[in-house]
Structure 1
Amino acid sequence: MKKLIFSTVVLLCLSIAFPSNAQVVATKSDSKLKYNPKDPIPTDPNVKTGKLANGLTYYIQNNPKPENKVELRLVINAGSILEDEDQLGLAHFMEHMCFNGTKNFKKNELVDYLQSIGVKFGAHLNAYTSFDQTVYILPIPSDDPEKLEQGFQIIEDWAHNALLTDEEIDNERGVVLEEYRLGKGADERMMQKYLPKMMYGSMYAKRLPIGTKENLETFKYESLKRFYNDWYRPDLMAVVAVGDIDVATLEAKIKSHFGHIKNPKNPRPRPSFDLPNHKETFIAIESDKEAPFSNVRLLFKDKVNSKPDVTYADYRKSMVENLFSQMINNRLDEIRNGENPPFVYGFTYYGGTYARTKNAFQSQAMTSPTGQLDALKTLLKENERVRKHGFFEGEFNRAKKDIVARMERAFKDKDKMESERIVGSYVNNFLEQNPIPGMEWRFAFINSQLPTITLDEVNALIKDYIKEDNRVVILTGPEKDDLEKVKEAEVLELLNTVKTMDLKPYEDKAVATSLMTKMPIKGSIKEYKTDETLGTTTLVLSNGAKVTYKKTEFKNDEVLFDAFSYGGTSLYTDEEYLATNNANRGLTEAGINGFDKIELGKMMSGKIANVRLSIGTYSEGLSGNTTPKDLETLFQLTHLHFTALNKDEKAFRSYADKQKAFLGNLMSSPQFYFQNAMSEFMYGKSPRYTGFPTAEDMDNADYNLAYEKYKERFADAGDFHFYFVGNVDEEKLVSLCETYLASLPGKGSNETYKVTDFRPLTGSHKKIIEKGEDPKSSVRMTYHGPTEYDEKEAHALSSLAEVLTIKLIEKLREEEGGVYGAGANARISNMPYDWYSFNISFPCGPENVDKLIAATLKEVDELIANGPTEKDLEKVKKAQILDYQEDLKTNRFWLRQLKNADYLKKDAHNILKFENAVNSLTVTDLHNAAKKYLTQGYITGIHNPEK
């Protein structure tokens, strides 16, 4: 099961997981595999596991993707649940301290060294703390023995060489308190109230990883050192190393760096914490005036403690559970896409709670502020409908098909999975004993067992899931004078009423088997053009459309797709734009070719292909992805989005209702309010400015006009350029282009976009927005304005922002202790007009706003006066090159670059020249950019709490 993870900010969310993070599949070829239910699930032969004499566990795997990189993890089987009363928040604080001085890397030396070899703090180097675990993340180059050695020295130092000086502990208090501040808000306030009911009688209700403000400010140094000495020890640790290097080298590194670490003479027992049962139904109805969203949550907690999957029978049962989740969520998705949807989204699953020892059957939904009871009723009814009538053969078979398709895709790409995606399964094996049998075993086992799973097995699950004890209902949402709060008695009445409802069985209507009801008249290819340097082929079709494709071997079962045509809403009048802006995204809710979204979903069972239509400001387009097997389906979907997009007022109103529910209370959030206010301040004078849409805006959205304008925008396929990147069969792709793309209408319009005279606010301005009760502020500083586009200057300015990010972290976080994070980003664009933007942002305490703005400007002034240091520029260049080298081996990078080169009218060959461009950057280039672009004034936006 997947567990809740608390990282830099306390985020509460749960997700559904397949066994060992994999999906399931069945094919006829392996259906006779021998199977003994009591046999143990094997360990993947591709991973070498071991345990040192001191008890430290290790996992090692050679994996060539990406090249010259190894992912290291130091896993501590200890988190906030183990804190003593004087240690609240110190498991997480300890995570911070490992970056603030160790035996071999004094204060700031660790981050400084890693940046010097291209490892970014935050983006690459990171860590997280949860209730039961702490995990350190370190990707390191594997092609340099010295860097590899230093990487292992770093994780060894984390394990037992943290210095924990009094001075550095006090310095870090400010940073952790800023992280604590970031987590404050409506969600946190409501969670503090409902968590004691959700996690009734357990330590999990008392040990949120972030801790308490009082303890973070006043804890004694000894309390932190005691936590480190008690719980950071080899028998509670694992080292995971997966990457492009031989196993023997990695094993030798682990043994040499960790074999000598000793356990304490009298180690504290590592307890496990239970989640007690309760006979009552606990109901928590919490509201907050700053809550932007309304949510419903329903839990039926197990009476017995969970156990890891260890046998074939366990693994097979998890497959049954996955089928159950897939089918009930398919039903909920049909409801949300139907008329008068009761929720924005809703889902149900069986899986982990915050407590390691307890699973629960859980349902969740986001709804409108007035729709909580209706949403809860829907969730309860669908659970009860399954209990009374079960699932049916048609939906059962579709669920199997979907699982087959996903697993086949994973299996085909088993040798091309990135190391970053592999390490997590080994972390979970150590912490929670999740099985790691490997893709080969899973594929063979599931091929054998999925066909043997019966509908009765799946239907039987819910009898154990639904119960009247160990039940918790949680409602959270906004608090407003005109909004009547749900009462506990209403919830109890609903729980009792649904049990006695006369619910009809789910009606599973038959659906068509083919997307196309009439095949198009085939077109032709007028011109072929190959580019051997880029490895691309461009076709000119008989209707004028262009197709560029690149065959790659980065993934065996992936094809990515994009397409654009100039124009977009820039060709609408102001009146048309304002009338249709909030309707455009709902155009595809009606389905295609007479099939609604529900029917389409059923028809697509077992297929992996999707197409997304969009109408942007300056272009219209399509994008999507598929597998080589389903490539024709992708082409059919593309053709139908041009020619047969349904028009259905009811479907659009369903979309609008969900949007209204989502947007209804958005402005009560101080953060959203600030974003909207700053957007209006900078862009509000545009005749097309709309800001965040409101419920009234959705009611006024003109769907009929939006549909007519869509037909205009997609009437001429001849001025579209289509892109395909991945493992394509070139002969098949060309044939499909002739059938489904060349057959589209081509009118030779060759439209371009229009640019209005409006430009955003520039110069020096200051806007202070006061909203919210929490003592938290945020700052945005924007330098932007017109310029003349120059590619090298654009690269220099974006690199300057990366340098400034490094300096702001050093100054505002490490020296001042005034922020948790700070950063800058920049770009110079040539579309729709030449324009530069340079943005700086950071959150902080209201009392520190002026001081930190002054410190930021001092760093900016230093760049203007002297430019960056050679050392800082080298850090940025190293990181850019490492990212680029990794990106070059991905389909998404190539798709984006090829499309953008044409869209922005640049030379696509520059894709291959980027490393040279990085190496040619000089301090002078960045210095000149600073002098040119950071001296023209800036707009300051400050968000403060209400006085």
Structure 2
Amino acid sequence: MKKYLYLLGSILFLSVFGLENVAAQSKQSTSNTIPTDPNVKIGTLSNGLTYYIQNNGKPENKVELRLVLNAGSILEDEDQLGLAHFMEHMNFNGTKNFKKNELVDYLQSIGVKFGAHLNAYTSFDETVYILPIPSDDPEKLEKGFQIIEDWAHNALLTDEEIDNERGVVLEEYRLGKGADERMLQKYLPKILYGSKYANRLPIGTKENLETFKYESLRRFYKDWYRPDLMAVVAVGDVDVAVLEEKIKSHFGKIPAAVNPKPRVTHNVKNHEETLIAIETDKEASFARVQVLFKDWGVPKKIKTTDAYKKQLIQNLFTQMINNRLSELTESENPPFIFGSSYHGGTWARTKEAYQSTAMTAADGQLKALEALLEENERARKYGFGQGEFERAKKNVIAGLEKAYKDRNKMESSRIASRYVNSFLQESPIPGMEWTYAFFTEQLPTITLEEVNSVINEYLRDTNTVIVLTGPEKDDVPKITEAQVMEVLKKVKTKAIKPYEDKAVGNSLISNLPDAGKVINKSTNPSIGVTTMTLSNGAKVVYKKTDFKNDEILFSAYSLGGSSLYTDEEYKKIGFANGGLGEAGVNGFSKIDLRKMMSGKIANVSPYIGSYREGFNGSTTPKDLETLFQMTHLYFTKLNKDEKAYNTYITKQKGFLTNIMKSPQFYFQFEMGKFMNEKNPRYQGFPTPEMMDASDYDLAYEKYQERFADAGDFTFYFVGNIDEKKLQDYAEKYLASLPGKNSNEEPNYSSFRPLTGKHTKIIEKGTDPKSSVQIIFQGEAEYTAKDARAMQFLGDILSIKLIEKLREEEGGVYGASASGSVRSHPYGWYNLRISFPCGPENVDKLKDAALAELQAIVENGPTEKDVNKVKEAALLENKEQIKKNRFWLRYLDATDYTKRNPNRILKYEASVNEITAEDIQNVAKKYATGGYILGIHNPEK
């Protein structure tokens, strides 16, 4: 499926056409072939295998390997349903050089986690294996290539291991069952009309997974795992020549296929009539409307600069239509909760469509359908205005500039993904420098008329599918096909008015109080952090980094939060806080702000938590002042708009009305109530009734109160910071805010969640699916060593649960454990075990999980397992400390918990000092008392 430029607000997500690669730039005129990034080395071995190699140093000492197979479930024979995916599983269950469990065991020993790092996926047309490997050790690098070579042609596929894996895959099949899957099975044949795709969902069928013959799986491996259908992608901190030699030595010896089975392409048939699917389910949580105008032909490959320019034109259209749909969601009576349109792939590689989608209230699907169709028809009749066009171009330029400035800071995993798509779908990979030059040259030449003509290629009366999915409710009559057809006719004859593009101001902020001053400045040279104290008492803490060229992350907080509300105030406010920001600031609505922010990349979101209030945000060096302006306005000029708030409530109610129909949501909600039964402030998951009862006036009043004193706030900035500008903006926009020296402290609640031995069994849903939660928790005296040991206990227990419950018992698809000891807002420990399974296996697997924990309590973990989790922690930290997000959270958390900021410098020592005995001790200390057992079972 092609990837496209999606423009959301003022941020452009560039995931297409090589927009993120490093390359040599060359301005191109149209009608030329799109060049290939010179930084990638592409080759083909004599046996037909293709390879992509690039040296990239982010992150350091790591290489991302991919084995890509241009084959998936669409190629299965009738006796092979689900076996493309099953084969993916089998490659982790015994190969020539890595016997059963040896592969995962080895990778864990070098810090590579199964699932989190090591992974794979199978779809209709492809299978992709993902393997990140440390590259600073030649032996590890060699093993990495040996692993992906084994996946390519050395799977053992023994009878015993095939049978052992059936249970695991059947559990994955079970996990996917539910309302969405049931409805999908019914409407997919209409979207993929007359094609094999509708009958080749990668998970397969339960009957075939249980009974397929061994030879069926081996035949799939023989037919399709062959070099002419494969690519190897290697991107990372290794010399290109070394990577190429590894590929040639490992994959060049694989024999070419003799008389290979044709890799057939399957097409989706066209149809003259409009196909309608109306599907409901008693357990469906959300209502949705989809309209697909399917292309008549097969997708054309993007090979020329003319085609590349056309994609830019189409993406300008996509941004503008989505801006209009977004405005509808902000209207007084929104026709849907969320809506979007784009042209892109369907489930079938051979069929693309213009697709308009909306999430709606259960009784609002026809209204939403009409609104989607009407907005498309409005664009067809009248096109877009010059103001919309100019704003869209500004956003494209802003996104391009951001990607261009960070072209040398891209993570290897993202680059590898680009080459995977290039191999599978022949998408161009010209590199960022060429793309930036080409798009900035071509963008001014694009006319509004060209963009307005796009929709005429999309909309049609033929080859159209309309899909409505949602909850089955006694009080909501089921929609009929006749009603849908009536909406289609209505929109065609409706007197639709042109879009009115209201003008907005150019400046966010006009009147500022006198600037304050920085009265003190200190630096912690050990970690490169500077703290400025402002004249109103506020502090600004910042760390200048070179991790990204065009990124600055921001947060701020002050102590207090909703803990300073009385219980009565807290209950009256309810969930109104979430709607405060919907009103906009300084007299500008959210729609106004979105227009004013065109060409800028900056966002700020205020929040009020239990014990603190603050902001989160991000920007670029260019737009740093805009972020400061927005922050100042959220302190001083938050709008109060009842209509905007009511729009928020209407959308939330539409989203929430049926959410408890989902067995999984219901289970979590009921467990939350059970654990917090005596908490006077526990609200749980909001219901429509709770939303209606929330007090907007009181919430607004309390917001003003919480943000009245900027003097007790600390503001954090991490990224590519111009220190002079940061100080100037801090004095102008932060130090000018009122400082009252309130220095409030939170009112910490005396309530503590449930502890001890308790059991809660919740029955909900019809599918034979259960889930289990085992929770040890209670008050604790925090120490950093206990906290680290408890974390490792959870990590080790996760490894043991996968070994026992998945690999040995075949009773789960996944299982996990996590452990923590925290100091704030009070000392507390938590050890949690979670897994889904069949109802018939609940007791057996629960006992097996507890037995694994008990083994650690009695005997301690093995040194081997301790070393695994240590290696993973060190490897992860090595990457995290080169990310702005890590440092932002670290600095914030360090201040909040009043810990030593220099402790990060001793991280490796703090990991290495933990022994098996330390982990056993915390297990004895915290996991030998009573536990809370939560079980979700289907209804009897």
Matched, 1:777 2:774: no
**How far 1:586 moved relative to its partner?**
0.8
> Which 10-residue stretch deviates more, 259-268 or 305-314?
259-268
> What are the Cα deviations for residues 506-540 of structure 1, in whole angstroms up to 9, with x where unaligned?
11111100000212310001111111001011011
Structure 2 equivalent of residue 27 of structure 1: none
Cα distance in 1 between the residues matched to 2:217 and 2:847: 33
Structure 1 equivalent of residue 427 of structure 2: 434
State which of 698, 701, 704 in structure 1 corresponds to 2:697.
Answer: 704
Structure 1 equivalent of residue 886 of structure 2: 893
Cα distance in 2 between the residues matched to 1:36 and 1:871: 60
Structure 2 equivalent of residue 574 of structure 1: 567
Structure 2 equivalent of residue 457 of structure 1: 450
Cα distance in 2 between the residues matched to 1:567 and 1:3: 44
Q: 1:557 to 1:888 in 2, by over 3 A?
A: same
Cα distance in 2 between the residues matched to 1:350 and 1:457: 16
Cα distance in 2 between the residues matched to 1:774 and 1:244: 47
Matched, 1:664 2:678: no
SS in 2 for 1:285: strand
**How far 1:34 moved relative to its partner?**
5.9
Structure 2 equivalent of residue 7 of structure 1: none
Matched, 1:87 2:84: no
User: What TM-score, normalized by structure 1, do the two folds share?
Assistant: 0.97
**How far 1:833 moved relative to its partner?**
0.8
Q: Which runs of 5+ in 2 are unaligned?
A: 5-11
- Give the alignment of 1:871-890 within 5 angstroms: 871-890=864-883
SS in 2 for 1:104: coil
> What are the Cα deviations for residues 340-378 of structure 1, in whole angstroms up to 9, with x where unaligned?
111111000111111111110000010000000111111
State which of 536, 543, 546 in structure 2 corresponds to 1:553.
Answer: 546
SS in 1 for 2:440: helix
> Which 10-residue stretch deviates more, 589-598 or 750-759?
750-759
SS in 1 for 2:626: helix
**How far 1:889 moved relative to its partner?**
0.6
> What are the Cα deviations for residues 12-64 of structure 1, in whole angstroms up to 9, with x where unaligned?
xxx9975326389xxxxx9xx86443211110000000000000000000000
- Give the alignment of 1:910-921 within 5 angstroms: 910-921=903-914
Q: Is the 8 A contact 1:337 1:654 kept in 2?
A: yes
State which of 298, 321, 324 in structure 2 corresponds to 1:305.
Answer: 298
State which of 908, 916, 925 in structure 1 corresponds to 2:918.
Answer: 925
SS in 2 for 1:416: coil
> Which 10-residue stretch deviates more, 497-506 or 237-246?
497-506
Letter in 2 for 1:938: Y
Cα distance in 2 between the residues matched to 1:653 and 1:23: 41
**How far 1:878 moved relative to its partner?**
0.1
Structure 2 equivalent of residue 680 of structure 1: 673
Cα distance in 2 between the residues matched to 1:287 and 1:16: 34
Structure 2 equivalent of residue 853 of structure 1: 846
**How far 1:307 moved relative to its partner?**
1.2
Cα distance in 1 between the residues matched to 2:851 and 2:28: 69
**How far 1:3 moved relative to its partner?**
7.0
Q: Is the 8 A contact 1:2 1:17 kept in 2?
A: no
State which of 557, 562, 584 in structure 2 corresponds to 1:591.
Answer: 584
Cα distance in 2 between the residues matched to 1:17 and 1:886: 23
Cα distance in 2 between the residues matched to 1:689 and 1:818: 35
Q: Is the 8 A contact 1:566 1:618 kept in 2?
A: yes
Q: 1:401 to 1:695 in 2, by over 3 A?
A: same
Letter in 1 for 2:17: S
Q: 1:177 to 1:138 in 2, by over 3 A?
A: same
State which of 462, 468, 471 in structure 2 corresponds to 1:469.
Answer: 462
Letter in 1 for 2:345: G
- Give the alignment of 1:171-570 within 5 angstroms: 171-570=164-563
Structure 1 equivalent of residue 17 of structure 2: 20
Q: 1:886 to 1:35 in 2, by over 3 A?
A: closer
SS in 1 for 2:488: helix
> What are the Cα deviations for residues 422-447 of structure 1, in whole angstroms up to 9, with x where unaligned?
11110001000000000011011101
Letter in 2 for 1:2: K
Cα distance in 1 between the residues matched to 2:906 and 2:318: 48
Q: Is the 8 A contact 1:19 1:318 kept in 2?
A: no
Letter in 2 for 1:22: L
SS in 2 for 1:410: helix
Q: 1:894 to 1:807 in 2, by over 3 A?
A: same
Structure 2 equivalent of residue 937 of structure 1: 930
Q: Is the 8 A contact 1:18 1:322 kept in 2?
A: no
SS in 2 for 1:464: helix
Structure 2 equivalent of residue 2 of structure 1: 2
Q: 1:23 to 1:44 in 2, by over 3 A?
A: closer
> Which 10-residue stretch deviates more, 260-269 or 639-648?
260-269
SS in 2 for 1:909: helix
Cα distance in 2 between the residues matched to 1:656 and 1:823: 36
**How far 1:484 moved relative to its partner?**
0.9
**How far 1:72 moved relative to its partner?**
0.2
Q: Is the 8 A contact 2:292 2:465 kept in 1?
A: yes
Q: CA RMSD in A?
A: 1.3
Cα distance in 1 between the residues matched to 2:721 and 2:626: 14
> What are the Cα deviations for residues 690-710 of structure 1, in whole angstroms up to 9, with x where unaligned?
111111111111000000000
Cα distance in 2 between the residues matched to 1:207 and 1:184: 16
Q: 1:583 to 1:189 in 2, by over 3 A?
A: same
> Which 10-residue stretch deviates more, 512-521 or 169-178?
512-521
SS in 1 for 2:521: strand
**How far 1:264 moved relative to its partner?**
2.6
SS in 2 for 1:712: helix
Q: 1:615 to 1:34 in 2, by over 3 A?
A: closer
Q: Is the 8 A contact 1:2 1:16 kept in 2?
A: no
**How far 1:198 moved relative to its partner?**
1.0
SS in 2 for 1:349: strand
Q: 1:173 to 1:216 in 2, by over 3 A?
A: same
Cα distance in 1 between the residues matched to 2:224 and 2:676: 53
> What are the Cα deviations for residues 195-232 of structure 1, in whole angstroms up to 9, with x where unaligned?
11111101111100000000000000000000000000
Cα distance in 2 between the residues matched to 1:97 and 1:842: 22
**How far 1:481 moved relative to its partner?**
1.1
Cα distance in 2 between the residues matched to 1:129 and 1:684: 43
User: What TM-score, normalized by structure 2, do the two folds share?
Assistant: 0.98
> What are the Cα deviations for residues 661-684 of structure 1, in whole angstroms up to 9, with x where unaligned?
110001110000000110011102
Cα distance in 2 between the residues matched to 1:399 and 1:209: 38
- Give the alignment of 1:749-788 within 5 angstroms: 749-788=742-781
Q: Is the 8 A contact 1:23 1:403 kept in 2?
A: no
SS in 1 for 2:17: helix
Q: 1:21 to 1:679 in 2, by over 3 A?
A: farther
Q: Which runs of 5+ in 1 are unaligned?
A: 5-14, 25-29
**How far 1:863 moved relative to its partner?**
0.7
SS in 2 for 1:653: helix
Letter in 1 for 2:2: K
Quote the sequence identity (%): 67
**How far 1:824 moved relative to its partner?**
0.5
SS in 2 for 1:363: strand
State which of 640, 644, 648 in structure 2 corresponds to 1:647.
Answer: 640
SS in 2 for 1:928: helix
Letter in 1 for 2:323: N
Q: Is the 8 A contact 1:824 1:840 kept in 2?
A: yes
Q: 1:17 to 1:564 in 2, by over 3 A?
A: closer
- Give the alignment of 1:129-148 within 5 angstroms: 129-148=122-141
